[in-house]
A and B are shown apart, each in its own frame.
Chain A
């Protein structure tokens, strides 16, 4: 593939205290594509995702070695404020986590805290439309976000991230708390968003990875070693013609 890199990990290592969560990860996340990160629980998928927007900084005792290049710059270089990284790289979490505020205030949160000038109402409407939520909430923007269904809440969280027009959106198992109908909606949404954004999604769901992603990375842990990138390639390759025996075992369900 001749895509430009949106993000590039170079020999990335991550520790939580004495526990090493990622080992020598090098991979290129192509722009305007959906890259899925798959693998069993505890293999380091979410940890890797949190390295991409420096969310691991918030976890006490975490330590990163190696580089993550974003726009040609190492986001772990000294002098880089993680706030700027998170402003440009959005994140959607496993459990929908709207703030206990109105729908409008949720979508407007990012632009407001980052001091974005311009018509907040337009930004909010655009983000909600982009997240395929506008028609469901346009008459109750001032109502509490907690009143929404789980699927709507998750789309609100996506809208909240979109309101900042990020370059990359990181999604940490965004459908694992949702029912199948809501899941399909989010998946369709991801596909349409990939036209404008780079998406990295961590998922437990093999079918989901196969359905939505262009690229797939398979992570694994050995008995005492977590955070190994076993194989990385196009989703078609990984799912139809894996090079590594462990990948094949995992995707065919013979693993563990």
Chain B
């Protein structure tokens, strides 16, 4: 055996290096979770006492004890469902076109560049766009529909890009295999590409939706309403959403309203998490199905 002292000393240093970087990276990954935990504890402490059936089933009120979140909750649900209905098919359709049909020419690159840029546009800009386009020009008024379409425009780039990634990750060999069996381009997309890409597409959609329903800025531009004492029953009704309601309560001077805001945040988080849970369930189901 070689008795190499320099090597052994060096090895010791290398081992130390290895373990210290491990600790460093571990703490890096814990920062996010830690911050989230603090936030959750803080919000729960402030809001859980105010979160009861009365809070869920009441309209906003000047008196904190009587105030509730009913109209905002329903507004959020409305906007969320409509946004998903609009943005999922359009987003996936655009991604399919760009990945499976579009020839690699200047037009395709132009569209692609624009989509990438749109993904980075601040949400308030979308709010103003929605205000000009849907509320005013298309005369939809400050309606659920105008709000959902605005959030659709905002979510589309994210959904398209995520769906493109998912579609691109389907092995070319599978497409060729299907073409070689006489499948048409649409059949290849329908039976080979989409089933494999769906889990990834759904993940992207969940992320985009989650971001959309938490947005206050564009919704304030569209809705501009806080005291709404009815539940929207048609897409053309006026509406408010949870982030607006929370924002309003936070900006009140009275401390009771801050508790209401915390309770509102808990409701928003519950809506978000249950939406994610549904999407994850869907995704796992499809993943299993394609692996079978």
Which residues on A are within 8 Å of B, measured CB to CB? 53, 55, 58, 60, 83-84, 86-87, 90-91, 93, 95, 97-102, 109-110, 113-114, 142-144, 146, 157, 160-161, 164
Whether B217 sits at the interface, judged by CB under 8 Å, is: no
7 A–B contacts from the bound complex (CB under 8 Å) = A58-B179, A97-B173, A99-B174, A99-B177, A100-B196, A101-B292, A113-B182
Bound complex: CA of A164 vs CA of B178, how far in Å? 12
A144 to B291, CA, bound (A): 6
B174, B184, B195, B290: the one contacting A113 at CB < 8 Å is B184
Given known A109-B191, A113-B191, contact A144–B292 (CB-CB < 8 A): yes
Scan B182-207; emit 1 where CB is below 8 A from any A CB, else 0.
11100100011001100000000000
- Do A60 and B292 form a contact, CB below 8 Å, given A97-B176, A109-B191? no
B182 near A100: Cβ-Cβ < 8 Å: no
A55 cross-chain contacts in B, Cβ below 8 A: 176, 179-180
Known: A60-B103, A113-B183, A114-B182. A157 touches B177 (CB 8 A): yes
Query: Which residue on chain B has the smallest CB distance to residue A100?
Result: B290
Whether B176 lies near A109 (C-beta < 8 A) is: no
6 closest Cβ pairs, A-B complex = A87-B182, A97-B173, A91-B180, A110-B181, A113-B183, A86-B182
**A97-B171 contact, Cβ under 8 Å, with A113-B178, A113-B187:** yes
Complex alpha-carbon distance, A130 and B291, angstroms: 26
- List the A residue with the shortest CB-CB distance to B173: A97
When distances are taken between beta carbons in the complex, the residues of chain B under 8 Å from A90 are: 180-181
Q: Answer whether A83 and B192 are a contact pair too, CB < 8 Å, given A99-B177, A144-B291, A157-B177.
A: no
Query: In the complex, what distance in Å separates the CA atom of A98 from the CA atom of B179?
Result: 13
- Asked whether, in the complex, the Cβ of B180 is within 8 Å of the Cβ of A146, the reply is no
Q: How large is the interface on B (under 10, 10 to 19, 20 to 34, 35 or more residues)?
A: 20 to 34
Q: How far is the CA of A97 from the CA of B103 in the complex (A)?
A: 25
Q: Is the interface of A mostly helix, strand, loop or mixed?
A: mixed
Considering only residues 137-189 of chain B, those with a C-beta below 8 Å from chain A are 171, 173-184, 187
| Chain A neighbourhood of B181, CB < 8 A | 86-87, 90, 109-110, 113-114, 160-161, 164
A157 to B177, CA, bound (A): 9
Known: A86-B182, A113-B183. A95 touches B173 (CB 8 A): yes
A157 to B173, CA, bound (A): 12
B292, A142: Cβ atoms closer than 8 Å: yes
| CB of B259, distance to nearest CB on chain A (Å) | 51
B4 interface residue, CB < 8 Å from A? Answer: no
| A83 CB contact (under 8 Å) in B104, B184, B196 | B184
B184 and A97 contacting across the interface, CB-CB below 8 Å = no
Alpha-carbon separation in the docked complex, A60 to B187 (Å): 20
Q: How far does the alpha carbon of A146 sit from the alpha carbon of B292 in the complex, in Å?
A: 8
- Give A172 Cβ to nearest chain B Cβ, in Å: 10
Q: In this complex, what residue of B is CB-closest to A157?
A: B177
Instruction: Given A93-B173, A95-B173, A113-B187, answer yes or no on A161-B290 (Cβ-Cβ < 8 Å).
Output: no
Given contacts A53-B180, A100-B195, 20 further A-B pairs with CB under 8 A are A55-B179, A58-B179, A60-B103, A83-B182, A87-B181, A90-B181, A97-B173, A97-B177, A100-B291, A109-B181, A109-B183, A110-B182, A113-B178, A113-B181, A113-B183, A114-B182, A144-B292, A146-B291, A160-B181, A161-B180
Could you say which residues of chain B place their CB within 8 Å of the CB of A84? 182
A83 contacts across to B, CB distance below 8 A: 182-184
Contact of B292 among A97, A98, A102 (CB under 8 A): A102
Nearest CB of B to A167, in Å: 13
Question: Who on chain B is nearest to A82 by CB?
Answer: B179
- Minimum CB–CB distance from B127 to chain A (whole Å) comes to 40
List CB contacts (< 8 Å) of B27-73 with chain A: none
Which residues of chain A are within 8 angstroms of B176 by Cβ–Cβ distance?
A: 55, 58, 93, 97
State how many angstroms separate the Cβ of B173 from the closest Cβ of chain A. Answer: 4
B182 and A164 form a contact (CB under 8 A): yes
Known: A60-B104, A144-B292. A99 touches B178 (CB 8 A): yes
Q: How far is the CA of A113 from the CA of B183 in the complex (A)?
A: 6
In the complex, A70 Cα to B157 Cα: how many Å? 46
A212 to chain B, nearest CB (A): 21
B179 to chain A minimum Cβ distance, whole angstroms, is 6
Query: Is A86's CB under 8 angstroms from B180's CB?
Result: yes
> What is the chain A residue whose CB lies nearest that of B188?
A113
B180 A99 Cβ-Cβ under 8 A: no
- Among A84, A91, A98, A113, max chain B CB count under 10 A is at A113
Distance, CA A254 to CA B65, complexed state (A): 94
